[in-house]
Amino acid sequence: MKISEEIIVNRKIAIALGLIFVVLVACLVSVLANYASMISKKDLEISSLKNQIRELQDLVGKLNSTLRAKDSQISSLNSTYYSLKRDYDKLLSIIEGGEAIAKSATWISEDGRLRVTSEIIPEFSRGKLLSYTVKVTVTNIGMEPISKVWIILFPYKGDRLIENWSPYSYSKSVENLYIGESYSYNFTKLPKYMTTYKVIAVAG
């Protein structure tokens, strides 16, 4: 009887141990499965973060490239600005020193029939003074139409007319200027060494 009871007890212990083992294995499998799921999620998160980092790095690269281009543009604009400022200061000193006529002037013709306005316009290219344009405007302020008006420009260098000056190249006529009517003409490509000029407007 004792041997039989011991066998039964041993069987029960073995069964209990087997059940415990099965439970432990099941728990371990569950833990491993959860852990694998967590690792997979973390891998996805890491992959997503790496993609975001690459995108941000690309964006930083583009911004740096844009910044370098803007710096180059600013440097070019600064160079142009200082060049223009030098030319402007030079022109201003010439004007203030009396070597060139003022920027604009207005007067009435001797017979009182015309109001004449002249304006000197410096022409620049890439910050360098190339030439001048003189814009002349005549207005009929008389009491009757004017059949013809002659406008003649005399550009000077110092006290001498510029080279190659001729009345044909530096004159303009306009016909039938009615009461209150204005006419403007631009004398272009005047040499940059011009220091002063005179305008004569005659009503015919």
Give the residue numbers spanning the domain of 162.
101-203
SS percent in the chain: helix, strand, coil, step 5 = 45, 35, 20
Split at pLDDT 50, 70, 90, the class of 100 is very low
Mean pLDDT throughout 143-152?
A: 94
Q: Above pLDDT 70, what percent of the chain?
A: 86
Q: What is the DSSP letter of 1?
A: -
Alpha-carbon distance of 181 to 197, in angstroms, equals: 25
Q: Is the pLDDT of residue 104 over 60?
A: yes
Question: What is the pLDDT at residue 180?
Answer: 94
Same domain, yes or no, for 185 and 122? Answer: yes
Q: Above pLDDT 90, what percent of the chain?
A: 33
Q: Is the pLDDT of residue 147 over 80?
A: yes
Same domain, yes or no, for 46 and 84? Answer: yes
- Judge whether 156 and 150 are in contact, CB under 8 Å: no
Split at pLDDT 50, 70, 90, the class of 45 is confident
Same domain, yes or no, for 82 and 160? Answer: no
Q: Is the pLDDT of residue 98 over 50?
A: no
Same domain, yes or no, for 116 and 160? Answer: yes
Question: What is the pLDDT at residue 99?
Answer: 44
Same domain, yes or no, for 70 and 132? Answer: no
Mean pLDDT throughout 133-146?
A: 94
Same domain, yes or no, for 141 and 178? Answer: yes
Same domain, yes or no, for 87 and 150? Answer: no
Q: Which of 81-85, 114-118, 200-204 has the highest mean pLDDT?
A: 114-118
Q: Is the pTM of this model over 0.85?
A: no
Q: Is the pLDDT of residue 183 over 70?
A: yes
Boundary of a domain, candidates 60, 76, 97:
97
Same domain, yes or no, for 153 and 69? Answer: no
Q: What is the mean pLDDT of the chain?
A: 82
Mean pLDDT throughout 2-26?
A: 69
Question: What is the pLDDT at residue 87?
Answer: 67
Mean pLDDT throughout 14-33?
A: 76
Alpha-carbon distance of 60 to 17, in angstroms, equals: 63
Boundary of a domain, candidates 81, 97, 113:
97
Alpha-carbon distance of 66 to 68, in angstroms, equals: 5
The helix/strand/coil state of 132 is strand
Q: Is the pLDDT of residue 138 over 70?
A: yes
Q: Select the more confidently predicted residue: 18 or 185.
A: 185
CATH number of residue 174's parent domain? 2.60.40
Same domain, yes or no, for 144 and 73? Answer: no
Boundary of a domain, candidates 42, 71, 97:
97
Same domain, yes or no, for 84 and 142? Answer: no
Question: What is the pLDDT at residue 59?
Answer: 86
Total domains, the chain: 2
Mean pLDDT throughout 47-73?
A: 85
Same domain, yes or no, for 48 and 110? Answer: no
Same domain, yes or no, for 7 and 68? Answer: yes
Question: What is the pLDDT at residue 136?
Answer: 95
